[in-house]
Amino acid sequence: MKRILFSLLLVILTAFSKAQSADEIIANYIAASGGTEKISAIKTVKMVGSLTVQGTEVEVTITASHGIGYRSDIVVPGIGEGFQIYTPTKGWEYLPFQGQTSVQEMTEEKLKAGLPQLDLQGQLYNYKEKGNKVELLGKEMFDGMDCYKLKVETAAGRITTLFIDSKTYYRVKSVAVSAASGQIIETIFSNFKKMEDGYTYPFSQTTANGTIEFSSIEINKPVDVNLFKI
Amino acid sequence: MKIFLSILFIISATVSYSQATVNSSTFGMMEARWLGPGTMSGRITAIEGVAQDGKTIYVGTAGGGIWKTTNAGASFKPIFDKYCQSIGAIAIDPKNPKIIYAATGESNMRNSVSIGDGIYKSTDAGENWTKLGLEKTEHIAKLVINPTNTNTIYAAVPGPLWSSSKERGLYKSTDGGKSFEKILFISEDAGCADVAVDPQHPDTVYASTWEFRRKPYAFNSGGNGSGFWKSTDGGKTWKEIKNGLPAKPFGRIAFTVAPSAPQNLVAIVEANETGLYISADGGENWKKQSATFNVVSRPFYFSTIVIDPKDPKRVYRPALSFSYSSDGGYSFADASNEGGWVHSDHHALWINPNNTNQLYLGTDGGVYISLDKGATWSFVQSLPVGQFYHAAVDDRKPYNIYGGLQDNGSWTGPSAASGGVGNANWKSLNGGDGFWVQPDPNDIYTAYAESQGGNINRINLVNNKAVNIKPQQAPGDDKLRWNWNTPIVIGAANKKNLYMGSQYLYKSTDQGRNWTRLSPDLTTNDKKKQEQENSGGLSADNTSAENHCTIFTVAESPLDEKLIWAGTDDGNLQYTSDAGKTWINVAANYAKAGIPSQTWISSIEPSQFDKRIVYATFDNHMYGDHKTYVARSIDMGKTWTLLSSSEFTGFAHKIKEDPLNKDLLFLGTEMGLFATLDGGQNWFRMKNKIPEYVLARDIQIHPRTHDLIIATHGRGILIVDDISPIRNLKKETAEKNVVLFPNTPITLTMGQFGGGGFPSTGGWVAPNPPSIPPIKYYLKDRVSSGEVKMDIYDPAGKLVQSIPGGKRKGVNMIDWNLSMKPPKIASGGSKLDFSAFLAPMVLPGDYTVKLKVGDSVYTSVIKLVHDATDKNFTLQDRKLQYKTAMDIYKMHEQLAGVVDTINARQKLIKDNLSKVTDSSLKKMMIAYNDELEKLRSELLATKQKSVFADEKKLREEITEVYSGVTGQEAAPSNLQVQRVTVLQQEVKKKEKESQQILKKI
């Protein structure tokens, strides 16, 4: 009996004291997002949502094809309709709310900063093969959640700090420095839903500009590649 | 089996306990506003810039952490808010500027200097930090990196100021800071004050050692442990530098090596005859040079001397003022004040190595930038790192904050202002070092402020004239002893009482025109602690900063003006319950609770709920003990209970009891702000945009607004607006998943503070508190799955607004602008039209709030009321405004309907045109489309290509009157009302036209 108790105690203590490595955390994160098989199979994503400002809805549509293109369309009532397109080699934008009167080609810097969005599997999945470096910075409380802090540096040198909730293994926050402005961009993810096809996605994204609530997220539905052209 | 059960019990107890914990995340969205100001900043201790770009600069402060600019100083952000706020030195890896080292614990060893907890490293330009070690060194003066092998780092450690220590000395790391080895150690009483590496021969290292010690009542700079050293083997062996230097003993030695000609050195050697010395042979031989008063002034405090990176003859001496030499230190000139006064007392200088005209100077009052090699300077107004000692508030609307700052006088500023609280909103009241400032609660035109040593003035707030009202020594009294930071206190029970303490307590009831001595000497009157004239060591220094055996804190019971408490800097804690006739010393009683004797009684808080209850904080750091001592007595000081927590860090400055909830206490220490909701059993560290190790010197809770006001010694004033949700959070409430807090009636308004006209043109601008009280709710945990939304229904049950809500753990706030949903407006125009974001304000009444969290709904009612006192906007005016606004609102929606139909028809044509092969049909379709387009172009602007080319069509005409009527707190004018009728006819007309065109096909 004593022996059983002792080994039980040992198991409990180990469970309490065992620190996870970055790779274990990433494995748990991938599992929480749908699993390796599912994540590796992501080819397209379409997300439709809106950002509400005192009752007025700004519509946001994101359409992306893995490694091929990423497009976000924004409709601001009374102000206009705009979009941003990123492809591996070129990008364009038309943002009338920022005073643009015609479609403009993106600067190389801006395009480079937006390119991680083409990786629909996320920077953590297969990160070594992608040439990304990951460092576990330790744990930090965020909004009552005990989070693992992972620093990810992409092959292109872009650094993002990710907060992974140690309970759910959801990525609940990301922090990056804007290459263009040098300002810190913090994005908070919430409203995680496990979808019928097995993927778990955050249906809310909050930045300093407000919260986008997505009403639908579709994975691997056909996407017209012409959307990524001008 | 029993063991098994008890293990299970421990585990389950741990789990259930953590679920019920109230901590800083309970505050949720209740985050601190950083009021600043930036008009007087704080002491700057280190400045380092990135040579590669010349515009990324790190600024270390005495008590406000590290601030980073990436735009050469146009704006700054704090990057060290999770760690110790006292910064001693910063170093940037010259080969990889993303690697930054930060040494905590500044070494400008004045009486109020704060300690550090080691060296930190960042590998991503300050985003994330890791502590490397040297935790117990307390003070680190300099970090130097070997430019050839940047994994080699030297750290000059003067070490603890108030006690002997083995931690002192010069340390070296050869592995990028992973480990440090002590390579020069003199004694437990003499540390290392400065270090430099010869950039061309990096194994040549120079260091100065310094014997220095403070006591609460004196300090000594100088002794046999002070010396000047050279090593040519990277610190393995050392040789003392002597030739040409004055006779020992030395005090502090500041020196520098000319980067471009490193055989040249200059040094300021504190000795019996402090002087400036120059060496041209790598420190082997020295020559004394004549120096100005500024160059050799106050060596213990001014330890910076810098040589231009390219020009070995250009020497800079930032000290009391700014001196520079163009001839290698033979002669000096002083900076001009043409660009504005340059704050005195300088501690840091960075010269851009690629543009040596560009200099950044750190002073006791902030950062200055020069573009002409230090001849003239401009002030950086955007660093809110002021070092307050105390703060007080008045009851005006918005209320004002008053406070005194280290080396920056006494100031007052509003808690809110049009466009935000900017530097210009602050007003200087008094000079010198500032400490206590009290607004007179019975006279809105008067405040009391002081400079060091009890020099109190009564200040007329209208014309800023001052009258000195310092109590004077009366016949038969001992010579008066005033603390550096002399208490000035207004009675909590009787607000006519003004108190001030030397070793005696004084009271005035006529604004300081007449004073009555209320007490005998309340201190220990230990003569050995009163020899300040001998303070300073080699350089005499007696500025009242070491005055001792004085009263340091005074508090009148809020329940009885005759019950007055007084605490001294030498351990006495006394009270009178008969307005000063008799005094009882309870010092021996608190000592029984484990609090050392001789501590400074840093604050006393008589309870507002029970006369017998009193709280106090005890500061023993001047005896080398940095522990947190805070205690409560429930029997008039007979017995004391030490309140303790594993969370506590830093010696205690202030304990504050909430005026309404007796179990809510706040504690400010040298390293953090803490709170308890259960009367001191469990404490948590306050975060929520409060730096985690903030130097929290004073705490106030505004009686009307319920704001928590924190006077920090390094981050200016911080305000957490309206803490009532936390105050009212009972344990059982905290355990509920969701709580929608009841709202007090809200006055209908578009905002209290006005727009402010033009935006700020720079400097620090603090945001205002919410202009309209937000709707608040509590979430036990962060909502990770499911939406949070708030629907608002008018008294008739109609949905008027729907707003997404925050999901944070703790208190969340939804800002509702008291307006309905904006109208749908005609789409597809080429001109920006903001009507889609503008809606009429709702009418007074009871509105139902439905908070949806996931699948659950929580309901409450908010009463919206009209401000009956506003004669410029009566209820009748409001109703007319609402009706008119709604008429135009409907007009916008009517027009949107017409345009939608046209848009749909045009889309149909566009989609099918290519499919049509018949050319006449095609022609007809194009003609029809043109007809539609002609009408569309009359309904809204379709041609405008630039915001500067004004095109006004029907939608824009409607918008002009809509924004006029809706956006004002006034009745519409006669012409606005008339205009509505005209536009209604126009819309009707266009609607008919469109119907006729649509009918055609």
Here the tokens at position B110 are 């004045």
Helix, strand, coil percentages in chain A from 3-state DSSP, rounded to 5: 20, 45, 35
Please give the pLDDT value at position A116. Answer: 85
**Cβ of A191 and B4 within 8 Å?**
no
**Is the residue at A148 inside a domain?**
yes
Contacts of B915 (CB under 8 A, 6+ apart): none
Structural Rg of chain A based on CA atoms: 20
Is the separation of the CB atoms in B623 and B596 below 8 Å? Answer: yes
Here the tokens at position B571 are 């351990």
Strand duo B765-766 + B799-804: pairing:
unpaired
Here the tokens at position B476 are 């038969």
**Cβ of B808 and A149 within 8 Å?**
no
Distance CA(B594)–CA(B397), nearest Å, equals 45
Residue range B848-858: average pLDDT? 95
Is the separation of the CB atoms in B550 and B569 below 8 Å? Answer: yes
**Cβ of B802 and A149 within 8 Å?**
no
Chain A residues lying within 8 Å of B785, measured CB to CB: 190-193
**Is the residue at A5 inside a domain?**
no
Please give the pLDDT value at position A77. Answer: 86
pLDDT band at A143 (very low <50, low <70, confident <90, very high): confident
B71 touches chain A (CB under 8 A): yes
**Cβ of A151 and B807 within 8 Å?**
no
Select the more confidently predicted residue: A4 or B850.
Answer: B850
Which amino acid, B508?
S
Please give the pLDDT value at position B301. Answer: 96
**Is the residue at A7 inside a domain?**
no
pLDDT band at B589 (very low <50, low <70, confident <90, very high): very high
Here the tokens at position A131 are 């040439």
Is the separation of the CB atoms in B860 and B743 below 8 Å? Answer: yes
Please give the pLDDT value at position A80. Answer: 80
Give me the residue from B11, B785, B808 closest to A143, CB to CB: B808
Distance CA(A41)–CA(B590), nearest Å, equals 69
The continuous run of DSSP H or E covering B673 comes out as strand B672-676
Which amino acid, B296?
V
Give how far Cα B254 sits from Cα of B196, B316, B843, Å.
Answer: 10, 12, 70
Q: Could you write out the three-class secondary structure of B399-429?
A: CEEEEEECCCEEEEEECCCCCCEEHHHCEEE
Q: Where are the alpha helices (DSSP H) in B20-153?
A: none
Give how far Cα B179 sits from Cα of B151, B452, B750, Å.
Answer: 11, 43, 59
Contacts of B62 (CB under 8 A, 6+ apart): B42, B43, B44, B45, B86, B87, B106, B108, B113, B114, B385, B387, B406, B713, B714
Contacts of A34 (CB under 8 A, 6+ apart): A198, A199, A200
Q: Is the peptide bond before B398 cis (omega within 30 degrees of 0)?
A: yes
Q: How far is B684 from chain A (nearest CA, A)?
A: 13
| Average pLDDT along chain B | 94
Q: Could you write out the three-class secondary structure of B844-872?
A: CEEEEEEEEECCEEEEEEEEEECCCCCCC
Quickly tell me which residue has 């002070």 as its tokens: B226
Say whether pLDDT at B679 is over 90. yes
Q: What is the pLDDT of residues B460-478, one digit of tens each?
A: 999 999 999 999 999 999 9
Strand duo B400-405 + B388-393: pairing:
antiparallel
Residue range B373-384: average pLDDT? 96
A-interface mutation test, from B782, B824, B955, most A Cβ less than 10 A away: B782
Give me the residue from B3, B25, B837 closest to A53, CB to CB: B837
Please give the pLDDT value at position B291. Answer: 85
**Cβ of A213 and B804 within 8 Å?**
yes
The continuous run of DSSP H or E covering B40 comes out as none
Q: Is the peptide bond before B249 cis (omega within 30 degrees of 0)?
A: yes
**Is the residue at A160 inside a domain?**
yes
For residue B36, the SS3 value is: strand
**Is the residue at A2 inside a domain?**
no
Say whether pLDDT at A210 is over 90. no
Chain B residues lying within 8 Å of A56, measured CB to CB: 821-822, 836-837
Chain A residues lying within 8 Å of B784, measured CB to CB: 165, 168, 170, 172, 190-192
Nearest CA in chain A to B833: A78
Q: What is the pLDDT of residues A144-198, one digit of tens each?
A: 889 999 999 988 888 899 999 999 999 999 998 776 666 778 999 999 999 989 9
Contacts of B905 (CB under 8 A, 6+ apart): B932, B998
Q: How far is B803 from chain A (nearest CA, A)?
A: 6
Chain B residues lying within 8 Å of A193, measured CB to CB: 785
Burial bucket for residue B999 (CB in 10 Å: 0-12, 13-18, 19+):
exposed
Cα dihedral B144, B150, B153, B154 sign: negative
The domains located in chain B, with CATH, are 55-240 (2.130.10.10), 251-383 (2.130.10.10), 586-721 (2.130.10.10), 765-1000 (2.60.40.4070)
**Is the residue at A3 inside a domain?**
no
The continuous run of DSSP H or E covering B607 comes out as none
Q: What is the pLDDT of residues B126-153, one digit of tens each?
A: 989 999 999 999 999 999 999 999 999 9
Helix, strand, coil percentages in chain B from 3-state DSSP, rounded to 5: 15, 30, 50
Distance CA(B481)–CA(B547), nearest Å, equals 7
Give me the residue from A78, A193, A211 closest to B785, CB to CB: A193
Q: What is the pLDDT of residues B761-779, one digit of tens each?
A: 889 999 999 999 999 999 9
Distance CA(B362)–CA(B350), nearest Å, equals 9
**Is the residue at A162 inside a domain?**
yes
Residue in B56, B107, B60 with CA at minimum distance from that of residue B83: B60
Quick one: how far is CA B707 from the chain centroid? Answer: 15
Is the separation of the CB atoms in B743 and B724 below 8 Å? Answer: no
Please give the pLDDT value at position A2. Answer: 54
Q: How far is B1000 from chain A (nearest CA, A)?
A: 29
| Average pLDDT along chain A | 87
Distance CA(A32)–CA(B459), nearest Å, equals 65
Interface of B with A in 129-168 (CB under 8 A): 130
Q: What is the CATH number of the domain that holds A157?
A: 2.50.20.10
Distance CA(A84)–CA(A113), nearest Å, equals 13
Chain A residues lying within 8 Å of B945, measured CB to CB: 101
B53 touches chain A (CB under 8 A): no
Say whether pLDDT at B116 is over 50. yes
Please give the pLDDT value at position B999. Answer: 87
**Is the residue at A91 inside a domain?**
yes
Here the tokens at position B547 are 């005055």
Is the separation of the CB atoms in B150 and B93 below 8 Å? Answer: yes
Say whether pLDDT at A16 is over 70. no
Residue range A22-40: average pLDDT? 94
**Cβ of B803 and A145 within 8 Å?**
no
Is the separation of the CB atoms in B809 and B25 below 8 Å? Answer: yes
Quick one: how far is CA A91 from the chain centroid? Answer: 20
Contacts made by residues A224-228, CB under 8 angstroms, sequence distance 24+ = A225/A65, A225/A68, A225/A69, A227/A63, A227/A69, A227/A71, A227/A85, A228/A65, A228/A68, A228/A69, A228/A70, A228/A71, A228/A85, A228/A87
Buried b (16+ CB within 10 A) or exposed e, B89-123: bbbbbbeebebbbbbbbbbbbbbbbbbbbbbbbbb
A-interface mutation test, from B785, B900, B947, most A Cβ less than 10 A away: B785
Chain B residues lying within 8 Å of A213, measured CB to CB: 787, 804
Q: What is the pLDDT of residues B521-554, one digit of tens each?
A: 999 999 999 999 989 999 988 888 999 999 999 9
Give me the residue from A52, A80, A149 closest to B804, CB to CB: A52
Residue range B274-302: average pLDDT? 94
Q: What is the pLDDT of residues B881-934, one digit of tens each?
A: 999 999 999 999 999 999 999 999 999 999 999 899 999 999 999 999 999 999
Task: Please give the residue range of the domain that contains residue A169.
Answer: 20-228
Torsion angles phi and psi, residue B69, rounded to 5:
-120, 145
Say whether pLDDT at B753 is over 90. no
Distance CA(B958)–CA(B956), nearest Å, equals 5
Give me the residue from B128, B807, B834 closest to A151, CB to CB: B128
Chain B residues lying within 8 Å of A175, measured CB to CB: 127
Interface of A with B in 181-200 (CB under 8 A): 182, 184, 190-193
Say whether pLDDT at B212 is over 90. yes
Say whether pLDDT at B122 is over 80. yes
Please give the pLDDT value at position B290. Answer: 85
Q: How far is B978 from chain A (nearest CA, A)?
A: 25
Q: How many CA atoms lie within 13 A of A30 on its CB side?
A: 22
| Number of inter-chain CB pairs under 8 A, A vs B | 110
Domain count, chain A: 1
Strand duo B775-779 + B738-740: pairing:
antiparallel
Residue in B888, B794, B892, B798 with CA at minimum distance from that of residue B843: B794
Give how far Cα B515 sits from Cα of B435, B496, B504, B757, Å.
Answer: 21, 13, 12, 48
A-interface mutation test, from B6, B83, B96, B128, most A Cβ less than 10 A away: B128
Give me the residue from B1, B804, B947 closest to A99, CB to CB: B947
Lowest mean pLDDT among B55-59, B437-441, B829-833: B829-833
Beta strands in B29-99 (DSSP E): 32-36, 44-49, 57-61, 66-69, 77-78, 87-92
End-to-end CA distance of chain B: 89
Burial bucket for residue B722 (CB in 10 Å: 0-12, 13-18, 19+):
buried
Which amino acid, B555?
A
CA dihedral B24, B27, B30, B31 (to 10 degrees): 10
Please give the pLDDT value at position A6. Answer: 56
Distance CA(B318)–CA(B315), nearest Å, equals 10
Is the separation of the CB atoms in B696 and B654 below 8 Å? Answer: yes
